[in-house]
Structures are given as C-alpha cells and as structure tokens.
Structure 1
Amino acid sequence: MTLVDTASRHAPTDAPLIAPLVERWSPRAYDPTAELSDDTIRTLLEAARWAPSANNVQPWRFIVARRGTPAFAAVHDALMGFNQAWADSAAALIVNVAETVDETGAPRRWATYDLGQAVAYMSLQAQHDGLHTHQMGGFDADRLAEAFGLGAGLEVISVSAVGKLGDAAALPEPLREREVAPRSRKPLDELLIAAA
C-alpha cells in the first residue's frame, strides 16, 4: 500500500495557523474498507450546525450517503466521470444543499455563502478527527434533486467525499500524479484588495 506522506501535504503557510488548517487537503485516494460510524457522522454534522449564518437562518441541508447503500449509488451515479473515477472509495458522499428561498418565496441571498461556511466547519472537524474530505462541483444537480425529491428552493451546491486516506497507487495515472503534486496557493498580496 502506497499511502501519501501526509506531512508532505501540509500547507506551506506564511503565518502560523491551527493544525487542522495546515493539515487539511483534498485527497482522491480513500480507503475502500473504512466506514464511518453514526457517531462520527453526527459529529461532522454537529460541526456544520454551529457555523455562522445570516440572521442565524442556517439555510443548509445535507444528504449523507454511506458507501454500499442505494443513496451512495444515486449520488455516485450523478457525479461527472472524472469524479466517478475515484469517489467510489470514499466512506460517504455528502450532498450539500442550500435553502435558497424563505417560507414566503423571497430569495435568501446569503444561503450559498452560509452553506459554504457550514461545509468548511464540517471539513475542519473531519480533519481534526483523522478523516479527509474532498469537495466536488462536477455533478448533475438536477439528477440529485430528482433522486432525493428536493423541492423548489433547495439547490444542490456541492458534494463532499469523506473517509480515511487510502492508497494513492490505486488511482488512475493522471489522478495519482495530482495526488502527490506540490501544494500551492496564490500569494496573500495577490488576494488582498486593500488594507488600512
């Protein structure tokens, strides 16, 4: 088994950060035998529950699909081919859904932003607990909405793979290369528009 040296995946930061931020990365190689307990899933969702949101509306909803279930197959089948090539080994696929309108039909302008924060909280909790997550945007949202009976005002924004790190050698070649490529980010100065 060729596991990636996780220390080599730590973010080369320009300022000291907490460990889950430095250690978090998005692998594609998952252990196909690892499972998530009910308590583990509950902890991940609890972390998401405590994310901040505009007016404390909490416009996030989740579909948790464990590997080996019909729900997992439905989510996996809705992924684009590139993601299907590796996501089948994740212990769970979590569909991240934003409630984009309120009970009167008015748009919730910040819903997708708030959902993003909830997913970030979940990702950091997963990292803290020895798990890894990988966010995906390559999926058929209409297919997922139909498969899970999502009504109007519920929009699938992303899908998260969750699980234990697996064997990078099991990935197809282009993905294996990306799995071990050096991590990089734009310089902070390039991201900063203004500072007073």
Structure 2
Amino acid sequence: MAGEPFDVLWSRIERRLARSAPACHARLNPPADPAALLRAEQETGRPLPGGLAAWWRAADGVSPARPSLGETPFRLLPYGCDPYPVAEALTRRKLYLRSSHDTVPPPLAAPLEAWLARCGQDPAGTYYPYDATPLWLPQWLPVGGDGLGGGLFVDLRAGDQYGCVVRHGTTSHGPNPSWPNIETLLAHVADTLEDLDRDGD
C-alpha cells in the first residue's frame, strides 16, 4: 500500500516472514545501534534517507544464511539479495571505492578523482552504466547483496531522486533506479510475501 507508515509496512513484512519464511525471519538482526547510523552519515558525508534509517532502526540487516546441503536460502530482497547490517554496508562501500581506484593505472588516478568529484555533483538518479571503468561514488551506500558481488545501493546525492535504490553488478550498475526509495522497495517486498502466502493457502 502506497504511503503507509513505516511501522505498518515493516509489521506486514515481519508477520509474513514469520509465517512463510521462518528461517529468514530468524535471521533478522536486532535494531541497529544509533551510533552506527551516525557513523554511516559521517562516513558518507550525507544524511540517511528516513526510510533507510527507519529500516535499520527496525532490524540491522540479517545474519548470514547457513542453508543445509542442497537448500537454497530464502532472500528477503529482490534479485536474490539480503539486506546488509550497517557495518557491512560501510565495509562494502569501502571495498567498492577501493576497487575503482585499483583498476585505474596510476597516471589516471588524478583524472579519476576529478571525475568522481564531478559525478558526485550530479543529481541523484544520474548513472554511468556504460563507462569502461567500474565506477563507485562515495555517495552510494550498499544496502543489500546477492553473495556474488552484486546487490542494491541507495543514492545519497542531492536531488529529486535522493534516496532512490539502484541495482548493481560486479562491473556496472543499472541505468535507472529500480525503486524511488527504501519504502517503495519494502512495499514491493511486503506485497510479494503476501502473494506467496496466499498462494500457499
């Protein structure tokens, strides 16, 4: 349901997870420490969108899946992704930023820095999926991963699409946001879980 309060939205997800995917429900972490949210804002230099902060205050991502042999773990988010705890999101961000620098020859390091700075001034929702060099901006914060190097990030740059959610792979990212914000992503998750629940009745 569009525009529903976050606590109602999260309650829908938790209720359906407990019923239809109890193993995934059991992997939900306790709420994030407020200091962790502050650290995320300090490291990115940007405020967290309200929906993302509320999500981490409800559950600090999930613990790693430990499926039995031959079992495929249930992933909470689309594209086979699980939500990251705050600490994991920050660690992944650092890895992706380092990877951008490690793939560029030393003579191009300064132009890369200038390019990153210029792209950081673009409005949220501006992407570069066809660049030859994998690009990761300091204002992009990973929020979920598929375990294979891909996942979802939130764009923290200023603009009308601030807080939008974008899919990324190992070498590039989508040309457009997949969802306008975390709330819309989680509404999609809640709707999907309720559809699965109805199909199981």
TM-score (structure 2 length as normaliser):
0.29
Q: Which has the higher helix share?
A: 2
The structure showing larger relative contact order (alpha-carbon pairs under 8 Å, at least 6 residues apart) is 1
Which one has a larger percent strand, Structure 1 or Structure 2? 1
After TM superposition, the score normalised by the length of structure 1 is 0.30
